[in-house]
Structure 1
């Protein structure tokens, strides 16, 4: 079975999507439609902006979504998913790929999500850190022992977990995790504490937008971040998508579940190849590729 996976924030690069825009009339039309929906020429930022321009959450998320989804939509006969998943933001791309959401509706939700998250970041200064070389349980227990808000946010692959919370909470956790034997505890250059309770204001805002959007019956299961389980039920997909903002991205468990359910290859659709690397850390033998 062919699994298709879609990257999240952090995969962006200057020039992303320019080749698609210039080589495909369909891609150009979709990019121009996106410029219209978002109200500015996001293509200019994607193709010729600076790293700093692209790093803003309100730009990064729509940009990665567009690159991933347009790649999938113009692939014609090549693109035949039997199971899909996306890392954080990538879950919205996956839901266009399996027919749950239309291109326009998903893009509007991504814009709403990005703006809501940016606002939540400005309300409460917060951050994330990558922890390497410890068991998940050790990281979870140390986070739970700290008085500030700090939680396990991204289970990326065995031995690589990202924590999220207040600046003080994350710094304290990093010190304790180093003492517990972490190979690295590296504070990340991100706008805020994604996938933590500090995203609650954004979750409330996104919930209203999701509930006002039509979700269709998908053509294949999506394995969702919040529980790493497959579903084709539009109501369940909605509920899990809302919970994702304040809940953890269970990527390790998602890849394991897809393999257990018969995935024979993983194709990454979008900028970069981070997810292929994470899949290989879960299963060395698994075939991976880019679309």
Structure 2
């Protein structure tokens, strides 16, 4: 049998209208009702609203979690299951839910608090580098204070995170085909998130995690594990640690994965997998029409 990995995208993959063919299904109404009680607003309404609202961290992360979780549920109801799961940043929470580490409501409650903490962590900057000299970038990051590698997405694409001055210094000194400053409120996946991580660790301490039903590759450590406490600790580390997606892709290949299915809006993750592991078959599921 083909060895399959399910991967779940994070912030940046959202799109107005995502989940549209999900929200009218009677089977998903209980989860949508639970979501509205937890969040205090309607996921379906926000997903159909203007891009400015959906792109706000407070709304983006819960909406992605709900849409991706519902799609994963429908796949499982069809008898489909992965051999391994992984998620990019916010997507890791959907991976944990898909692996039955916690239930839908628990995951959404954690995502809501995470989004609030990240939204409040102002004062930082992030920038994406496409087509760059990795050795040069790593040297400048090593020599510059208050900036780190936040997302190692592929050999040709990374994101740095830190103070605006430090990020600007890296941009000025490292040649790249393209550099894009990200529209985010803070320096996510960097030491500047330390206070938020400490607060989030206290929240996580009150939540019971179960052993995962299949191995999970975490952002900060893509070594596969099903151990509940280790998975919880890795979530804490994710707030300040780098998203090691390039290594995650390599780990998928080492695990003998033959097909990767990206569950959620967009095709960002399958694009990154293709760049790192061109021999893995790819599939994208962003709507109910693609589930059946």
Same fold, TM-score > 0.5, yes or no: yes
2:45 matched residue in structure 1: 44
Which residues of structure 2 form unaligned runs of 5+? 286-292
Q: Give 1:202 deviation, angstroms.
A: 1.3
Whether 2:185 is the aligned partner of 1:191: answer: yes
Does structure 1 retain, via aligned residues, the 8 Å contact 2:121–2:185? no
Rounded to whole Å, the distance in 1 between the matches of 2:22 and 2:201 is 32
Rounded to whole Å, the distance in 1 between the matches of 2:110 and 2:224 is 22
Aligned length: 282
List structure 1 segments (4+ residues) > 3 angstroms apart after TM superposition. Answer: none
Shift in alpha-carbon separation, 1:137–1:228, aligned structure 2, 3 A: farther
2:173 matched residue in structure 1: 176
1:209 matched residue in structure 2: 203
Q: Give 1:263 deviation, angstroms.
A: 0.5
TM-score (norm 1): 0.94
1:77 matched residue in structure 2: 78
2:222 matched residue in structure 1: 228
2:231 matched residue in structure 1: 237
Whether 2:138 is the aligned partner of 1:163: answer: no
Picking from 143, 146, 157, the partner of 2:144 is: 146
Q: Give 1:135 deviation, angstroms.
A: 4.4
Shift in alpha-carbon separation, 1:234–1:136, aligned structure 2, 3 A: farther
Rounded to whole Å, the distance in 1 between the matches of 2:7 and 2:231 is 16
Picking from 6, 10, 13, the partner of 2:12 is: 10
Rounded to whole Å, the distance in 2 between the matches of 1:79 and 1:55 is 31
Q: Deviations over 1:122-155 (max 9, x none)?
A: xxx21111112234443222112123x1100001
Shift in alpha-carbon separation, 1:135–1:102, aligned structure 2, 3 A: farther
Does structure 2 retain, via aligned residues, the 8 Å contact 1:58–1:115? yes
TM-score (norm 2): 0.93
Rounded to whole Å, the distance in 2 between the matches of 1:78 and 1:50 is 36
Rounded to whole Å, the distance in 1 between the matches of 2:184 and 2:243 is 16
Rounded to whole Å, the distance in 2 between the matches of 1:59 and 1:79 is 29
Q: Give 1:96 deviation, angstroms.
A: 0.5
Does structure 2 retain, via aligned residues, the 8 Å contact 1:27–1:74? no
Does structure 2 retain, via aligned residues, the 8 Å contact 1:195–1:245? yes
CA RMSD of superposed structures (Å): 1.2
Which residues of structure 1 form unaligned runs of 5+? none
Q: Deviations over 1:181-240 (max 9, x none)?
A: x22222122222110111112101211111111101111000000021111110100111
Q: Give 1:52 deviation, angstroms.
A: 0.5
Q: Give 1:79 deviation, angstroms.
A: 3.0
2:31 matched residue in structure 1: 30
